[in-house]
């Protein structure tokens, strides 16, 4: 991994951020970057500021920074697919339970669940959590309905008592739905159901959006910039893999143009690539791992229970060629880069830990999101001498290894 440095100082950078399965409008990412970059700047002693995007037709922001004694500007763009996410999230409780049954059947019936459990227990438990929580909610609702029916039956005909019992159960399920912002059962169920709906294949509307993403990145590669950096977080990481693989195969990445970097953070690639119809994704993983037109760095941390931490997504998916170059798998090492006080504050905030890669570290190490996205070195140069994490998992595990 030591022969991919460009030696190029970055003065202008374009950054494309692909979020995970998130229905929230993209402005949250701008505010997160504003807040956390200011915190990291105070800790690390550099300067960074946000402004309005140069292109008013897209959602993003403009960054000016002085890092490592160099002035750098970076233009961020969020590649939005939150509308597709929202459309996939049904408000119907019955539909959610239907999704639960179908998703469990896809992962268990296809044999994908058991290999996933061999990798990391955290993300698998995160996948099983909404199933257990939704079942618990159903049981509690039935118990409440039974109690109401028995009490009402003391003074009402059994039909009326039964109606009241059913109504009480339904009201309780609706109440659980209203507090899902704290429980995340419905949200996580929609997330895993979206991945499993076509057994790992992308739905047509998502394929169309990925093509749009590719056009945006291809246009930036023709611009007068020193680096184009694509950041994919969570499930956005495997979407970025497919977008970049398409660009490579179509010959839309110039070897002598802007440096191209791909930073995957907290990836959950196996949740998709282990499914039987994920041939397209497995091909994209295989093809991207061979290319020398880009630098791919994958960062995760064992402390993030929502990601397949330190799992080489190409290798564990069973499609690693002998000439595999990428990704460089690195650990964000939360146990070292976060103080004991910070770790204690985040101990049970699992979703916040899943977003820590986009946030400030009070004991920063080699990984610093803001140096990477707004600093004067390309992704390749920054990690050119970095060895892969010795704890990385790179043994093929998936039962399904066919490619498109």
Residue 404, pLDDT score:
79
Residue 3, pLDDT score:
45
Residue 155, pLDDT score:
85
E-state strands within 171-253? 227-233
Average pLDDT over residues 203-228: 97
Residue 119, pLDDT score:
86
Give 13's pLDDT tier (boundaries 50, 70, 90).
very high
Residue 4, pLDDT score:
52
Q: What are the tens digits of pLDDT across the range 241-282?
A: 999 999 999 999 988 889 999 999 999 999 999 999 999 999
Average pLDDT over residues 53-73: 92
* Residue 333 near residue 353 (C-beta atoms within 8 A): no
CB-count exposure of residue 163 (10 Å: 0-12, 13-18, 19+) = middle
First to last CA, the chain: 28
pLDDT at residue 1 greater than cutoff 60: no
Who has greater pLDDT, 348 or 110? 110
Whole-angstrom CA distances from 373 to 61, 236, 358, 370 are: 12, 17, 10, 5
Whole-angstrom CA distances from 338 to 93, 143, 300, 353 are: 39, 44, 14, 11
pLDDT at residue 123 greater than cutoff 90: no
Average pLDDT over residues 151-163: 91
Average pLDDT over residues 377-400: 95
**Closest to 264 measured CA to CA, from 225, 218, 310:** 310
Residue-range domain boundaries for the chain: 12-83+226-249+261-382, 92-196
Give 5's pLDDT tier (boundaries 50, 70, 90).
low
Who has greater pLDDT, 378 or 305? 378
Give 186's pLDDT tier (boundaries 50, 70, 90).
very high
Who has greater pLDDT, 5 or 164? 164
What is the Cα–Cα distance from 87 to 294, expressed in whole angstroms?
Answer: 33
CB-count exposure of residue 352 (10 Å: 0-12, 13-18, 19+) = exposed
Percent of the chain with pLDDT over 90: 86
Name which of 6-20, 129-143, 205-219 the model is least confident about: 6-20
Buried b (16+ CB within 10 A) or exposed e, 186-214: bbbbbbbbbbbeebbbbeeebeebbeebb
Percent of the chain with pLDDT over 70: 98
CB-count exposure of residue 171 (10 Å: 0-12, 13-18, 19+) = middle
Give 58's pLDDT tier (boundaries 50, 70, 90).
confident
**Closest to 288 measured CA to CA, from 249, 258, 322:** 249
Instruction: Compute the mean pLDDT over every residue in the chain, rounded to the nearest whole number.
Output: 94
Residue 6, pLDDT score:
60
């Amino acid at each position: 991994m030591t022969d991919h440095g460009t030696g190029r100082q970055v003065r202008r950078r374009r950054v494309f951020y692909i979020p995970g399965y998130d229905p929230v409008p993209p402005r949250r990412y701008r505010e997160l970057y504003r807040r956390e970059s200011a915190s990291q700047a105070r800790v690390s002693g550099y300067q960074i500021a946000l402004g309005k995007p140069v292109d008013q037709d897209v959602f993003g922001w403009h960054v000016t920074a002085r890092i490592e004694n160099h002035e750098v500007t970076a233009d961020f763009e969020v590649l939005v697919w939150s509308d597709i996410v929202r459309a996939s999230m049904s408000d119907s409780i019955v539909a959610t339970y239907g999704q639960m049954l179908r998703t469990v059947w896809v992962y268990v019936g296809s044999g994908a669940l058991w290999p996933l459990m061999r990798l990391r227990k955290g993300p698998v438990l995160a996948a099983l959590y909404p199933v257990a929580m939704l079942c618990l909610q159903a049981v509690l609702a039935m118990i409440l309905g039974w109690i109401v029916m028995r009490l009402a039956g003391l003074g009402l005909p059994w039909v009326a008592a039964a109606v009241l019992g059913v109504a009480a159960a339904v009201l309780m399920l609706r109440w659980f739905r209203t507090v899902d912002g704290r429980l995340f059962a419905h949200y996580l169920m929609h997330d895993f159901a979206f991945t499993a709906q076509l057994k790992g294949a992308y739905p047509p509307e998502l394929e169309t959006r990925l093509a749009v993403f590719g056009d945006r990145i291809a246009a930036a590669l023709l611009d007068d910039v020193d680096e184009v950096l694509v950041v994919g977080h969570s499930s956005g990481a495997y979407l970025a893999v497919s977008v970049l693989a398409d660009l490579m195969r179509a010959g839309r990445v110039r070897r002598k143009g802007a440096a191209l970097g791909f930073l995957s953070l907290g990836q959950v690639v196996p949740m998709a690539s282990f499914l039987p119809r994920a041939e397209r994704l497995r091909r994209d993983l295989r093809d991207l791992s061979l290319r020398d037109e880009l630098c791919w760095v994958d960062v995760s941390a064992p402390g993030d229970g929502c990601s397949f931490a330190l799992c080489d997504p190409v290798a564990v998916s069973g499609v690693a060629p002998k000439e595999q170059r990428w990704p460089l798998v690195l650990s964000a090492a939360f146990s070292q880069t976060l103080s004991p006080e910070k770790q204690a504050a985040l101990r049970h905030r699992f979703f916040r830990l899943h977003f820590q890669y986009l946030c400030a570290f009070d004991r920063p190490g080699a990984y610093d999101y803001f140096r990477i996205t707004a600093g004067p070195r390309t992704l390749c140069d920054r990690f050119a001498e970095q060895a892969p994490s010795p704890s990385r998992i790179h043994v093929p595990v998936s039962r399904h290894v066919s490619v498109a």
